[in-house]
Amino acid sequence: MLLPGIIVKLLEELQRLIQGVKVAMIENAVGSLELEYKELDTVFLLILIGSLAGIIPIPPVLAVDILPLLRDEMHLLEDRAYRGDDVIGDLFSSLGGEW
């Protein structure tokens, strides 16, 4: 009668493993969505500011009207412009922790 006890423990461990994989997949999906949001936000700001720099995807009058509403997003663009294309820095910051 030892066999049913082992099977029950194996099933419990398998259930815990599946729950752990599920949590890891959800966290990975959330991280990917946050990264996609940052990229889309940057593209939107570049479209707005591009019209002020001479690239005209939208009328400059609209860009000037919308610009004061985007103060917080402008800090994101300023931070990216300051850092430049620091791919390694983005990689390590996505891993978290103190580096």
**Cα dihedral across residues 34, 35, 41, 45: positive or negative:** positive
Rounded CA separation 68/74 (Å): 9
pLDDT band at 18 (very low <50, low <70, confident <90, very high): very high
Give the tokens for residue 47: 């479209």
- Among residues 75, 83, 12, which one has the least CA distance to residue 42? 75
Tens-digit pLDDT profile for residues 29-75: 888 888 888 888 777 777 777 766 676 677 777 777 777 777 777 77
Rounded CA separation 24/56 (Å): 43
Rounded CA separation 39/82 (Å): 16
Report the pLDDT value the prediction gives residue 35, as an integer from 0 to 100: 84
